[in-house]
Structure 1
């Protein structure tokens, strides 16, 4: 089974194309397209309940491949500081980290093995500030939580709150409309 590849060592033997194919398949057949791993760094999202999932959209895959192969885009699976290391003045950098909890009762901090706790949120804020000083255009999305508003208080004039619909939550009461923030280091109203 494809789901077992990261448990039985088969994943390490697969090509990049086979790994990407597995990711697309799991994304299209697991619960709500969620990606998450357990403490052993193994994919652990439950199966979705789909009768005919659209696993392969040939036209979209071809268009995406053409775009990504000719646009000088580089996709990295690295720590965010390492990924942003080559950013230069005038570059646009967008961060979409695991969102901060909205209150103290929520303790889910990430979809990956190491999570994304307060120290990681601080480290990301520090990088945001560094890139701002470097002359990059920086945008970040996150929850509209007190923690995030406090961390990015220097950017309150270029922060906007947007409504988003959440379909994934362990409790049904946690699904529905929530506020998120877009934090920028530039004046979005001039565009």
Structure 2
């Protein structure tokens, strides 16, 4: 199932590999919403979907709660703004009109995503969306995807929150899936970045949660990520990349799927040893002492 948004790093193309690592549970918790590809390609009874980007979460909420009005407003934007000049006019209004109604802002967000360069979502330090025009012959209006999302979204709760707050809401029978900004790639998707300290912090949170809940994570395949997720079972996959210095047309990159669950359970056929856990806990203690 494709998604509403064009999105670098979307998991649509790797769901075959990823789905085998996602165990059953009552609710899937995703602290990094992205394009909601995992939500749209799984079948959990409930979803908690979060992201720090308020425009992304607002769009998902508007589609869930006001589906038909959103479709009408977004379709009008697509049909009435087809040139490069009109794209920059719409982008300017999106950035400067603080009183724009939430429904209209959500439709603008979809318009900018589908008409901007390769679906990249990026803001400057002022919080302004600054992706250039994409020069597409005929940008796709995702009517079918919007309708399917609106139906699935009735099972979901969407919150604008950082990963710390979101992971603090995990409860029994939840499955956690994280798709953070990848190590070693562009991470300035919003006004703040996601540096190596953030990667370390996320790994620490997930290690603790994995004592009670299944945790699955995607990230770049680097020595750094393999180090901070050394207590996790790691599977390497190869994916196509469309954005980035090391990518380009026809280029591929290696990623990891890291997974870990309660010590007395099995996740994907892997049992996690006490020795492996102790080794990682020592590593995290050293990190915490070093960074205060």
2:205 matched to which residue of 1? 127
Q: Greater CA radius of gyration, 1 or 2?
A: 2
Give distance in 2, aligned partners of 1:24 and 1:129.
Answer: 35
Is 1:188 aligned to 2:265, yes or no?
Answer: no
Report the Cα offset of residue 28 of structure 1. Answer: 0.6
C-alpha offsets along residues 113-145 of structure 1, whole Å, 9 cap, x if unaligned?
110001110111111112112x22211111001
Q: Deviations over 1:124-167 (max 9, x none)?
A: 1111112112x222111110011100101111xx2101001111
2:193 is the alignment partner of 1:118: no
Matched, 1:174 2:247: yes
Q: What residue in structure 2 maps to residue 88 of structure 1?
A: 171
Structure 2 gap ranges (5+): 1-88, 262-266, 271-292
The alpha-carbon deviation at position 14 of structure 1 amounts to 2.5
Q: Distance in 2 between matches of 1:64 and 1:126?
A: 32
Kindly indicate whether residue 138 of structure 2 is the aligned counterpart of residue 58 of structure 1: no
Give unpaired runs (5+ residues) of structure 1: none
CA distance in 1, matches of 2:220, 2:183: 6
SS at match of 2:134: coil
The correspondence for 2:99, drawn from 10, 13, 17, is: 13
Cα distance in 2 for partners of 1:23, 1:144 equals: 31
Cross-structure match for 2:112 = 26
CA distance 1:47–1:81, shift in 2 (3 Å):
same
Structure 1 match to 2:229 = 152
Report how far residue 109 of structure 1 moved. 3.4
Distance in 2 between residues matched to 1:6 and 1:58, nearest whole Å: 22
With over 3 angstroms needed to count, the CA separation of the structure-2 counterparts of 1:16 and 1:130, relative to structure 1, is farther
Aligned Cα root-mean-square deviation (Å): 1.8
TM-score by length of 1: 0.84
Q: Considering Cα pairs closer than 8 Å and 6+ residues apart, tell me whether 1 or 2 has the greater RCO.
A: 2
The answer to whether residue 239 in structure 2 is matched with residue 164 in structure 1 is: yes
- TM-score normalised by length of structure 2: 0.56
Distance 1:24 1:18, change over 3 A: same
